[in-house]
Structure 1
C-alpha cells in the first residue's frame, strides 16, 4: 500500500513538473529575443512619462484591473530588453494555469494521462501563443487563473451536500473571482465555461434533475460574476472615474452577429491548433483540422449515445452549443467584430475539451488497447501542437518584430544631435511583413504601419542611444507616412518597407 502511495505521489509530482516546465520550453526563445509589438513602445513611454494614462485607457474599455496590472509592471521596465520580463510573466501565468487545469480535470474524474495532455494542449493553442509572445498581454494570464479559481470556489459550494451559508459563501467567492477576471479582460472571464465542459463530459445523467440543478447553479455563478463586472464598469463611468471609450457599445444586430460568429469565428476554434491567415488561404492543415474535429465529435456522440442514450447525446449537444455561447459571450455582446485569437481562448478551450473527451470515449470502446491508442494519438497531437507553438511564437512574433526594431535602431544610429536632423519613416504595409503567415494584428503582423507606432518606436530607439538625455525628442525632427516625400524634405530616411530584405538596409540622404 505504501509503495502504491509513493508511486502515485511520484507520478503526480512528475506530471506537475512537466506541465510547469512545458511553457518555458515552448516559449523560451520568444521570451529571450529582443523585440516589442505595436503598443509595447507607447506603453513603455507612458508608464514613465504619463502616470495614470494606461489605467485610464484600459478603464475606459471596462478593464481597470488590466490597466492597473499593466501600468505597475511596465514602470519596472526601462527599455525593450525589459519587455522580455513581461513576457516571462505571461509564460509563468500559463505554467500555473496548466497545473490548475490538470488538478481540476482530475477532480472532475478525468484519468491522469488525458487530463495532463488536455492541460498541456490548452497552453500551446494559438490563443496561448499570443499571451506568451506579446508582453502587454501578460495580465490575461492572471484573468484566466482567476476564472479557473472561480470555478474551483463555486465547485466547493455547488458540491456541498448540506448547503446553507457555507455553500453560499463558496459561490459568492466564485462570483467575486469571476468578476475580477472579467475586469481584467472581458474575454477571459468566460474561460469558466472550459471547466464546466470538462465536468459535464464526465458526468452520468441518470438523474436529469440533479444534473440540471448542478448546471443551473454554475450558470448563476457565471451570470453573477459577469453581471457584477458590468455593474462595476457602469458605476465607474457614472461616477466619472473613467470616461467610456467609443468602443463600449453593445451589439444590436444579433442575427448578423450570429452569422459572423459561425462563418468567421467558429472555424478558428474548430481548427484547434491550426492557424488562420488574413491575406491568403489558411495553412494546409486548417480546414482538414476542422474536419477532423467535427468527425471525432460526431463519433464521440455516437459512442455517448450507446452508453447513455438520447439523454446523454442531447446533453452533449446542448452543452456544446450553450457553453460555446457562454465562452464567447463577451465578444458576442460587444458591437465590435474582430475575431482575434486573444478573444478566442475560452471558445477554443470548450471545443478542445469535447474533442479530447470524444477521443477518450472512442478508445474506451476497445478496452484491450483502445485507451492506450487514444492516449498515444492525443500525445502525438499535443507534441505537434507544442512544436507549432514554439515555431510560430518565434517566426511569426519575435523575428518579424526584431527586424522592425533593427531597422529603426539603424535609423537612430545615424542621428547627430548637433545637426537636429529631419527623420522620415516610410511606414510599412502589412504585405511587407517578413513572416510566412499573417493573422490580423497578432501573428506575423507589421507594427510600423501607422505614424504613431513609428514615432514611438523611433523615440524608444533614440532613448536607447542617448540614455542621459532628458528630452530625446528634441534631438531630431520627425515625420512619417506611407508616401515617400522629396529627398529635400528629410536628412535621414528609414524605409520600413525593407522588412523582407536580409539584412535590413538603412537609406540615409543628406542635403
Structure 2
C-alpha cells in the first residue's frame, strides 16, 4: 500500500477532521430528533426514574459497570420518550469523534490523506454504527469505541516497530492496558476496536519483515489481552466479594468447533458485506448482500496478488497474519460467550478490520496504474462512502425511526383514552415480528417489532400515560392492563390497542399513518 513518508499537517487536516465529525450528524439528522423508542428504551426510562441503581446493577452483572453508570445517568436526564433523542445525539456525536480520531491516527501511521479520510468516513456509516445512532440505550457503546482507539494511541507510543527497542519506561504500555480495561468494562466488543488501528498500521508498513511484523503484532495483542484479562479479573473479584451478582448470561461456550463453524457462516459474512445489510437468520440473504460479500473477497484476493507482486511471500504473509489474528481477536469475546446471536452491535471491530484490508486492496490495485490508478481508487472509495451514507440514512428511517414511531402512535391512541376516574380496562394485542411495517428485518435491531411481548407493551403504555398525567407517581393504577396475541379482544375490555395494525392487510387495510404527528 502506498503511504506518505510523514503525517501531513496543517489546516487541511484539521478541516477534514472537522468534516468527519459532522458527517454522522448530517447522515442521521433526520432520525435523531424524531419521537420514538425501541424495545428496551421504555423499560430503561422507568427504571432510571423509579428503581435507581437497577440499570447499573444489571449491566454490571454482565461485566459492563461503566456502561450501566453512563446509561443510568443519561436516561435519568433524558426523562421521557422525547428525551431519548438526546441519547441518540450522544451516540452520533461520539461516532463523529471516532471518525476524526481514526483519520488522525491513520495519518500518523503513514496513510495518505484521501484513503485515510474515506476509510474514517465509512466507519460511522456501517450497520454496526447505525445501531448505536438509532437505538438510544446503545449510545454508551460509542465511548467504549473511543476508549479502544485511545488505548491504541497510547500503546503506539510504547510499542515502536522492530527493530527499534522498547522504551525503558512502561508508562505508555500500562496506560494502554488501563484504557483497554476501561473500554472492556463499558462494552466488551467495542473495546476491541483497538484492532482496527492495528490493522491500519500493519498494512502501511510494507517495508517490515514478516518476523518483525509478527513481533509487533504480538505486542499489541498482548496489550489487548491484558486489558481484557484485567477487566475480567476485576469483574470476577466484584462477584466474589458480593458487590455484584453475576448474570446468568455470564457463561462460556463449550462447543468451540461448532461455534467456529457457526461464526464462519453466520457472523463473518456480515462483516464481509461491509455496508450491505443481511436478513434475519432463516430467511434468504438479499442478492445485494451476497454480491457484496463476493466483491469483498475478490478485491481482497486481488489486493493480495498485488502485494505478492511487490513484496513476495513476505508481503502476503504479513497481510494474512494480520487479517487472521485480528479477525480472531475482534470476535474473541463473542466467540467465548455461551450465546449465539449474530447481532451487528457485536461485530463493529470485525467489520472495521476487514474494511481496512478492503480499502488497502483498492489502493494497491490503484497503484498498478501509476498515472491514473490512485485517482480511480479514490473515486471508488468515495462511491463506497456515498453509497454507505445513503444506506445509513435510508435504513435509519425505514428500519428504525418510522416503524418504531408507528408502534408508538398505535399505543398512543390507546393511552389517550385512559380516564383516571373510571380506571378503564386496556387490552393490548401484541404484534408478531412478521407484522413489522419495515420493508425488511434483522434480529432485534433493524426493522424489528418492539411490542411483541407483555413487558414491552406495559412499559410503553405506562410511559405514554405518564406523559399525560405527570403528577401521578404510579400511573399503572389509573387503568387495568391485559394483553395477548388473541385474534379478538375480550368484550369486557374498554380499550383495544391492536398492534397487528402495523402491517396493512385484509384485516387492517389502512395500517397506521404518520403523516400527522399523533396528538399528545
Give the TM-score category using the shorter length.
over 0.9
Structure 1 residues 284-303: aligned runs within 5 Å? 284-303=287-306
Tell me by how many angstroms 1:484 deviates: 4.3
Partners of 1:115 and 1:12 in 2: how far apart?
Answer: 11
Partners of 1:399 and 1:209 in 2: how far apart?
Answer: 53
Tell me by how many angstroms 1:375 deviates: 0.3
Matched, 1:109 2:110: yes
- Tell whether the 8 Å contact from 1:274 to 1:283 is kept in structure 2 after alignment: no
Q: Could you list the runs of 5+ residues in structure 1 that have no partner in the other structure?
A: 1-6, 506-511
CA 1:503/1:207 → structure 2, altered by over 3 Å: closer, same or farther? closer
Q: What residue in structure 2 maps to residue 223 of structure 1?
A: 225
Q: What residue in structure 1 maps to residue 451 of structure 2?
A: 448
Residue number among 327, 330, 333 corresponding to 2:333 in the alignment: 330
Tell me by how many angstroms 1:488 deviates: 2.7
Matched, 1:257 2:263: no
CA 1:216/1:487 → structure 2, altered by over 3 Å: closer, same or farther? closer
Partners of 2:286 and 2:111 in 1: how far apart?
Answer: 32
Partners of 1:247 and 1:86 in 2: how far apart?
Answer: 26
Structure 1 residues 346-425: aligned runs within 5 Å? 346-425=349-428
Tell me by how many angstroms 1:437 deviates: 0.7
Q: Deviation string for 1:398-420 (max 9, x for gaps)? A: 00000011011110111111111
Partners of 1:209 and 1:297 in 2: how far apart?
Answer: 23
Partners of 2:419 and 2:221 in 1: how far apart?
Answer: 63
Partners of 2:310 and 2:235 in 1: how far apart?
Answer: 46
CA 1:43/1:486 → structure 2, altered by over 3 Å: closer, same or farther? closer
Tell me by how many angstroms 1:240 deviates: 1.0
Partners of 2:488 and 2:500 in 1: how far apart?
Answer: 15
- Tell whether the 8 Å contact from 1:58 to 1:66 is kept in structure 2 after alignment: yes
- Tell whether the 8 Å contact from 2:209 to 2:314 is kept in structure 1 after alignment: no
CA 1:503/1:430 → structure 2, altered by over 3 Å: closer, same or farther? closer
- Greater share of residues in helix: 1
Partners of 1:204 and 1:277 in 2: how far apart?
Answer: 38
- Tell whether the 8 Å contact from 2:125 to 2:392 is kept in structure 1 after alignment: yes
Q: What residue in structure 2 maps to residue 80 of structure 1?
A: 81
Q: Could you list the runs of 5+ residues in structure 2 that have no partner in the other structure?
A: 1-7, 505-509, 514-520
- Please give the root-mean-square deviation of Cα atoms over the aligned residues, in Å: 1.4
Tell me by how many angstroms 1:61 deviates: 0.7
Matched, 1:124 2:125: yes
Q: Deviation string for 1:208-243 (max 9, x for gaps)? A: 443232222111101110110110111111111111
Residue number among 437, 442, 449 corresponding to 2:440 in the alignment: 437
Residue number among 504, 512, 517 corresponding to 1:504 in the alignment: 512
Name the stretch that deviates more: 88-97 or 411-420.
411-420
- 1:468 counterpart SS class: coil
> TM-score, normalized by length of structure 1?
0.95
Q: What residue in structure 1 maps to residue 5 of structure 2?
A: none
Q: What residue in structure 2 maps to residue 508 of structure 1?
A: none
> TM-score, normalized by length of structure 2?
0.94
Partners of 2:474 and 2:253 in 1: how far apart?
Answer: 44
Matched, 1:151 2:152: yes
Q: Deviation string for 1:105-149 (max 9, x for gaps)? A: 111111000000000000100000000000001100000000000
Tell me by how many angstroms 1:503 deviates: 5.2
Q: How many residues align?
A: 498
Partners of 2:44 and 2:430 in 1: how far apart?
Answer: 20
Q: What residue in structure 2 maps to residue 469 of structure 1?
A: 472
Partners of 1:98 and 1:147 in 2: how far apart?
Answer: 13
- Tell whether the 8 Å contact from 1:205 to 1:311 is kept in structure 2 after alignment: no
Q: What residue in structure 1 maps to residue 62 of structure 2?
A: 61
- Tell whether the 8 Å contact from 2:35 to 2:82 is kept in structure 1 after alignment: yes
- 2:408 counterpart SS class: helix
CA 1:473/1:351 → structure 2, altered by over 3 Å: closer, same or farther? same
- Tell whether the 8 Å contact from 2:366 to 2:376 is kept in structure 1 after alignment: yes
